[in-house]
């Protein structure tokens, strides 16, 4: 950076991780190292391709201003990923207390008599960021630990211990499940036997009731016959 520069600008390259059909942004930092108010304006050779916010402003003494440059979604990639777009940051010292609405295009011309500092920025396309590698199984919280193998093919003691604990827990749970299944099977068998016994007792009870009903009918018939004989005998006499 030259000592004549009014604003220190970082970075000096606008690096975009290029991806088709996707808006991409990068940021600039404008640092005012002077004790003066500084007005700035950002220009580009492709104004329809980029959006700059803010594209003009005031940087207070010993202060920093952030600028966001957004590249619109592109349908095609440039040949060899080379970009010829350029940006120009112009800055001038203005009167104390100046505000954004005080900035005019004439302030950045040589005819105005102002000392106009200009810094050119080039645009660079970079490959898009690579997605993070998948998390190995067992590394997430709550999953069963897996023993890792060292370079010489042997399990480390910590991994071996973890694997042993996991195996014992698995065996314990399996044993509990087997015991539960066995107990439920026995209860089911007992319930079936009790049901069968109740059915047998019910059938026996029904037979007894039928017998009692049958005996009552027979006695009634006998009594009727005897009454008939007696009445017949009385009538004859």
Distance linking the first and last C-alpha atoms of the chain: 157
pLDDT at 116: 93
In terms of pLDDT, which residue wins out, 121 or 193?
121
DSSP state of 109: S
Kindly report, residue by residue over 57-93, the tens digit of the pLDDT.
999 999 999 999 999 999 988 888 889 999 999 999 9
Say what the pTM is.
0.53
> Which residues are registered as beta bridge partners of 121?
87
DSSP states of 9-36 as a string? EE-SEEEEE--TT--EEEEEEEEE-SSS
**CB within 8 A of 4, min separation 6: which ones?**
117
pLDDT for residue 138 is more than 80: no
Kindly report, residue by residue over 139-186, the tens digit of the pLDDT.
555 554 454 444 444 545 556 566 666 666 666 677 777 778 878 888
Give ∠ CA 18-24-26 in degrees, rounded to 5: 105
């Amino acid at each position: 950076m030259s000592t004549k520069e009014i604003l220190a600008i970082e970075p000096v390259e606008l690096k975009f991780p290029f991806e088709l059909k996707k808006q991409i942004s990068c940021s600039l930092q404008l640092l005012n190292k002077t004790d003066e108010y500084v007005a700035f304006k950002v220009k580009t050779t492709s104004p329809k391709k980029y959006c700059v916010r803010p594209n003009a402003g005031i940087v207070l003494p010993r202060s920093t201003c952030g600028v966001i440059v957004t590249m619109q979604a592109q349908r095609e990639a440039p040949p060899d990923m080379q970009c010829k777009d350029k940006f120009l940051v112009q800055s001038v010292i203005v009167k104390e207390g100046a505000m954004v609405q005080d900035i005019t295009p004439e302030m950045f011309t040589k005819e105005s008599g102002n000392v106009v500092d200009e810094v050119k920025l080039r645009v660079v396309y970079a490959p898009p960021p690579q997605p993070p590698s998948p998390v190995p199984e067992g590394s997430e919280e709550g999953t069963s630990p897996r023993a890792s193998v060292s370079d010489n093919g042997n399990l480390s003691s910590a991994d071996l211990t973890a694997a042993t604990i996991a195996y014992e827990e698995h065996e314990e749970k399996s044993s509990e499940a087997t015991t539960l299944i066995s107990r439920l099977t026995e209860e089911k068998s007992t319930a079936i036997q009790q049901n069968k016994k109740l059915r047998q007792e019910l059938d026996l009870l029904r037979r007894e009731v039928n017998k009692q009903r049958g005996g009552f009918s027979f006695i009634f018939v006998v009594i009727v016959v005897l009454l008939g004989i007696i009445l017949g005998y009385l009538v004859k006499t």
